Chains A and B, each alone.
Chain A
Amino acid sequence: MRIPGWTILLAALLLCACSGGEDPPAGAELKVYRHAMDGAPGSLDPARSNSIYTKFLTLNLYDTLYRYRYLARPYELTPNLASGMPSVSEDGLVYTIGIKRGVTFIDDPAFPGGAGREVTAHDFVYSIKRHFDPATLAAGAWLWQDRIAGLDEWKENGSDYDRAVTGLRALDDYTIQITLTRPFPQLVHTLAQDSAAIVPREAVEHHGREFPNQPVGSGPFRLVSIDSARAVLERNPDFRHEPFSLAAEGFDPVTQSGLGLEALEGAIPPFVDRLQIEFIAEDAARWTALMSGDVHFIKVPVTQFDRVLGSRDPIRVAPDFERDFRFEASRESGFVYTNFNLDDERIGYHPDPEQDRRNRALRCAIVKTFDWQRRNEIFYYGIGQVFPGIIPPVAAEFDATASQAYTQRDLEGARQLLADHGWTPENLPVLEYGFPSSVTERQMFEQFRDFMADIGYPRDKVQPLTFATYGDYARAYGQRQVMLVTSSWTMDYPDAENTIQLFYGPNGSPGSNSSNYNNEDYDRLYRRSAAMQPSEERTGLYRNMNELVIDDCASISGIARTLLFLWDRRAIMLPDRSFVGGFFLRFVDIDTPPSDGR
């Protein structure tokens, strides 16, 4: 039989293709680290950054004044572009910050001659001003609004970048001075956020709308390409040469000695030539990518917890995975909670004091009926940490000894509360449980309805309120149209003020206080604590506020999820998804370059 020539050619090509072929993808000789994220970033303009996925990229493309020490737990701030920690005036209002000399932006056509110029204090001032320019569509203004003197007026006067702001000045090329309207001890934390990353004005003006896709920063990496599937970054050869120091990064030999980090001592980060960040939202695809060696790191999908874990208490990886992978269980820096919309008279505040009391009793009955243990078992594999209130375990102010009564199911107590306050199946209000459309959210709603049925809440009186997208959902609860608002909060910095503000009255919807909680005592304590440096007294105030939220049954709260990380043993690192976040990628090293050419 005669075999056609084209079939032989095709077979030969396929054989070559199986091994990656004679034209392997570019970068096969480089030291490449491939990191999988379970979501994709939005705009790479730091001013518009508002997700952890974006943060992973922007923190590597741009510089911030401060960052968190790579290995220190609890998390600690350390200078990044700043030359040291700020000097603060006695009244806590004036911060003076020096920045390192000789740091340059990457080369870009925006600069004369295309060569990156030195980063100066003026660039920082410009970068913060951008948040107050409506044309930027910025997301970070809330961090400094009403806090930095003159910024709000600058905006009201037309956001003219050539006009000075009284509270935000470059004293010279290397010195920044920030003047606050009132003490704000968390200011330095905000300067470690990617929103505070430093961009050059020339590049923003030169690239215009395309600036997010042509990032011009002074970070450890520069962008090679980005699309809906991945971002490719390469080492910034001009990144400042600062040797890696285990001591400076807070290395703990007891808990961190098995990671191979000791070999990095004295080396100059970033350690890899290329950083490839894959955006893989689908659990099955993320898992396959790790197993096939196409990525070095994944956040383990909940569907694979059973397989990956050898033990849940204590959390231990299964022996099958120990040979090829390293493992880390990390508590999320935030929590999941369901707020009652207290602006809704059916369940929240009511002008009639008697009805107001009945509504509070109803909320407390619902809280008592909610079964956190089952929620944890079914949706978080039983390894989340349930805690009472709004100060999550990752915060230093968390009270591990607090009573757990608020999160323990008490059906008898719930029924009694309803009976004592005249609630019957006939006069109970319809509960509208809001969520963006997804299978998991729907399952959570069904479980909630099932919980409520246990105290005789008619099933037809617990209704889903679904929204096509998260944006639509956020709009609805921002407009106070959702009775039960389930959401999660990821802390921006390791200070419980970041979650305490979620129940501060003036932050009511469309602000971050989606419960529209409005308690004068709470607000007074919040204002008092807001000016205080970390101290036992301030922690006491935070805990008092936590108690107020619990007493008022303003929220069914909460659970801090446990995230499982699994990574190729060749990758030398301690991954982090919370405050260190994207900062750790500059410290990742690969033991041996991948040999498969992928």
Chain B
Amino acid sequence: MTLPGYILRKTLTAIPLLAGVTFISFLLMVHFGPDKTYELLGKNPTTEQIAEVRQQLGYDRPFLVRYTDYVRELATMDLGHSDSSGESVASLIARTLPVTAALVLPGFVLGNVLGVLLGMFAAWRRGTWPDRLVMGASVVGMSISFLVIIILLQVLLCTPWGFNWFPSRGWEVSGPVSYLYYVTVPTLALVLVTLGYNTRFYRAVMVEELGRDHVRTARAFGARPAEILFRHALKNSLVPVLTRFMFSIPLVIISGSLLLETYFGIPGIGKLTFDAITSGDQPVLKAVVGLTAVLFVLAQVLIDIFYRMVDPRVAGA
């Protein structure tokens, strides 16, 4: 099958998947989700006022009508307005998504690149003390709470008790230098918290790959370690590496940044989503849930395409 045909087939199979995901998420998070009515009401509401607010929010309409509207809104990207702030949901997402992407991208990339390198290093030195050191450090990194790491880094780098080099909160980015000023500490936190998990995963992948026949053959031919690791081992283990990398993206963007955004006062989509969940801001919630589902499906399609590119056996099949 040609690549365009393959993409078309994957996209078509994604449609029922999207329908199922949106239906279940609508049922759980919107239909049975938090009720915004009582947060909008005044201090001494009457039954009549409650009914009015419910009507304005559309809570009194039948389930199927609400779900159909939801699907239509997603399809047309007419996502309505936030019940809390009144701001257009599309503009909220357009404003917050790039901030989150800029916030997590360096940490996400660094965490994965360093994880691959350390994983390769530990796998190459398997069973020796450097391997044990890397794995021990990984377990320590995995064991410390994200929150503790954030607070420790803030105290160390953002207060007079430490070096006081960076701000403890804010996001007034106007160029590369101010970007580094605001992103450095969150990036360090993200790298520290993800590095342990990534290193252990990539080490396991590399250990398996380094034990294969073609690697032994390369060694027998006297290939240099770097050549063996990068050319023969890493390239052949790209399928699990890519899978982990791609599926992490929606999670990192939507939920992974929540603590960073909260503790560093960064106006990203993680905080927006959290606030929407806790306050029952359904238009925002519906949009984020729907877009996350789309992102996951997109990641799935992209992974399938990457598989074909990195592993000819998939294309052949």
- A contact set with B: CB distance below 8 Å: 13-14, 16-18, 20-26, 40, 42-45, 48, 50, 134-135, 137-143, 145, 209-213, 226-230, 278-282, 284-285, 288-289, 291-294, 468-472, 474-475, 478, 492, 501, 507, 510-512, 598
Q: Which of B111-140 contact A (CB under 8 A)?
A: none
Whether, in the assembled complex, B85 has its beta carbon less than 8 Å from a beta carbon of chain A, the answer is yes
Evaluate whether A213 and B87 lie within 8 angstroms (CB atoms) in the complex, with A139-B41, A288-B168, A470-B39 already known.
yes
Taken together as a complex, chains A and B put the C-alpha atoms of A284 and B147 apart, in Å, by 10
Evaluate whether A510 and B261 lie within 8 angstroms (CB atoms) in the complex, with A288-B155, A292-B164 already known.
no
CB-CB under 8 A from A140, the residues of chain B are 42
Known interface pairs A16-B177, A25-B174, A143-B42; 4 further A-B residue pairs with C-beta atoms within 8 A, sorted by A's residue number = A229-B261, A469-B280, A472-B34, A510-B45
Q: List 7 A-B contacts (CB under 8 A).
A: A22-B177, A42-B85, A142-B44, A228-B96, A228-B272, A469-B280, A471-B35
CB-CB under 8 A from B181, the residues of chain A are 17-18, 20-21
CB-CB under 8 A from A294, the residues of chain B are 158, 167-170
CB-CB under 8 A from B272, the residues of chain A are 228
Q: Which of B37, B164, B170 contacts A475, CB < 8 Å?
A: B37
Evaluate whether A209 and B34 lie within 8 angstroms (CB atoms) in the complex, with A17-B177, A228-B272, A278-B265 already known.
no
Q: B85–A21 contact, CB under 8 A?
A: no
Evaluate whether A511 and B169 lie within 8 angstroms (CB atoms) in the complex, with A42-B85, A291-B160 already known.
no
B25-47 CB mask vs A (1 if < 8 Å, else 0) is 00000000011111111111111
Whether, in the assembled complex, B49 has its beta carbon less than 8 Å from a beta carbon of chain A, the answer is yes
Taken together as a complex, chains A and B put the C-alpha atoms of A510 and B169 apart, in Å, by 40
B283-315 CB mask vs A (1 if < 8 Å, else 0) is 000000000000000000000000000000000
CB-CB under 8 A from A42, the residues of chain B are 39, 84-85
B78-91 CB mask vs A (1 if < 8 Å, else 0) is 00010011111000
Q: Which residue of A lies closest to B162 (CB)?
A: A292
Q: Which residue of A lies closest to B80 (CB)?
A: A209
B50-58, B199-207, B208-216, B246-254 - the one binding chain A: B50-58
Q: A210–B178 contact, CB under 8 A?
A: no
Taken together as a complex, chains A and B put the C-alpha atoms of A44 and B84 apart, in Å, by 9
Taken together as a complex, chains A and B put the C-alpha atoms of A17 and B172 apart, in Å, by 13
Taken together as a complex, chains A and B put the C-alpha atoms of A436 and B184 apart, in Å, by 36
Whether, in the assembled complex, B11 has its beta carbon less than 8 Å from a beta carbon of chain A, the answer is no
Q: Which of A50, A135, A229 contacts B169, CB < 8 Å?
A: A229
Q: Which residue of B lies closest to A145 (CB)?
A: B46
Evaluate whether A469 and B177 lie within 8 angstroms (CB atoms) in the complex, with A212-B85, A230-B265 already known.
no
Q: Which of A139, A212, A226 contacts B42, CB < 8 Å?
A: A139
Evaluate whether A48 and B263 lie within 8 angstroms (CB atoms) in the complex, with A18-B165, A23-B175, A469-B279 already known.
no
Q: B38–A474 contact, CB under 8 A?
A: yes
Q: Which of B35, B155, B263 contacts A282, CB < 8 Å?
A: B263
Q: A209–B86 contact, CB under 8 A?
A: yes
CB-CB under 8 A from A24, the residues of chain B are 178
Q: A472–B43 contact, CB under 8 A?
A: no
Q: B52–A134 contact, CB under 8 A?
A: yes
Q: A228–B275 contact, CB under 8 A?
A: yes
Evaluate whether A17 and B168 lie within 8 angstroms (CB atoms) in the complex, with A25-B178, A471-B39 already known.
no
Closest CB in chain B relative to A184 CB, distance in Å? 14
Q: Which residue of B lies closest to A48 (CB)?
A: B40
Whether, in the assembled complex, B151 has its beta carbon less than 8 Å from a beta carbon of chain A, the answer is yes
Q: A512–B43 contact, CB under 8 A?
A: yes
Q: B37–A471 contact, CB under 8 A?
A: yes
Evaluate whether A142 and B42 lie within 8 angstroms (CB atoms) in the complex, with A21-B175, A210-B86, A292-B160 already known.
yes
Taken together as a complex, chains A and B put the C-alpha atoms of A57 and B49 apart, in Å, by 25
Closest CB in chain A relative to B109 CB, distance in Å? 14
CB-CB under 8 A from A469, the residues of chain B are 34-35, 278-280
Q: B184–A285 contact, CB under 8 A?
A: no
Closest CB in chain A relative to B117 CB, distance in Å? 15
Q: Which of B36, B43, B52, B265 contacts A50, CB < 8 Å?
A: B43
Closest CB in chain B relative to A509 CB, distance in Å? 10
Evaluate whether A13 and B42 lie within 8 angstroms (CB atoms) in the complex, with A18-B165, A284-B151 already known.
no
Q: Which residue of B lies closest to A513 (CB)?
A: B44
Q: A510–B160 contact, CB under 8 A?
A: no
Q: A285–B45 contact, CB under 8 A?
A: no
Q: A510–B265 contact, CB under 8 A?
A: no
CB-CB under 8 A from A472, the residues of chain B are 34-35, 38
Q: A134–B37 contact, CB under 8 A?
A: no
Closest CB in chain A relative to B270 CB, distance in Å? 9
Taken together as a complex, chains A and B put the C-alpha atoms of A137 and B39 apart, in Å, by 11
Q: B56–A21 contact, CB under 8 A?
A: no
Q: A137–B40 contact, CB under 8 A?
A: yes
Q: A510–B50 contact, CB under 8 A?
A: yes
Q: Which residue of B lies closest to A21 (CB)?
A: B177
CB-CB under 8 A from A511, the residues of chain B are 44-46
CB-CB under 8 A from A285, the residues of chain B are 154, 168-169, 262-265
Taken together as a complex, chains A and B put the C-alpha atoms of A180 and B211 apart, in Å, by 88
Q: A209–B171 contact, CB under 8 A?
A: no
Q: A23–B177 contact, CB under 8 A?
A: yes
Q: Which of A17, A23, A134 contacts B56, CB < 8 Å?
A: A134
Q: A23–B178 contact, CB under 8 A?
A: yes
Taken together as a complex, chains A and B put the C-alpha atoms of A139 and B56 apart, in Å, by 13
CB-CB under 8 A from B190, the residues of chain A are none
Taken together as a complex, chains A and B put the C-alpha atoms of A47 and B125 apart, in Å, by 67
Q: Which of B158, B160, B164, B169 has the most CB of A within 10 A?
A: B169
Q: Which of B77-107 contact A (CB under 8 A)?
A: 81, 84-88, 95-96
CB-CB under 8 A from A492, the residues of chain B are 43
Taken together as a complex, chains A and B put the C-alpha atoms of A510 and B37 apart, in Å, by 12
CB-CB under 8 A from A43, the residues of chain B are 84-86
Taken together as a complex, chains A and B put the C-alpha atoms of A281 and B279 apart, in Å, by 14
CB-CB under 8 A from B174, the residues of chain A are 23, 25-26
Q: Which of B179-209 contact A (CB under 8 A)?
A: 180-181, 184
Q: Which of B50, B171, B278 contacts A478, CB < 8 Å?
A: B50
Shortest 8 CB-CB contacts between residues of A and residues of B: A21-B177, A25-B172, A227-B267, A474-B38, A17-B180, A139-B42, A212-B86, A142-B44
Q: Which residue of A lies closest to B270 (CB)?
A: A228
Evaluate whether A291 and B161 lie within 8 angstroms (CB atoms) in the complex, with A211-B86, A229-B271, A510-B46 already known.
yes
Q: A289–B168 contact, CB under 8 A?
A: yes
Q: A292–B178 contact, CB under 8 A?
A: no
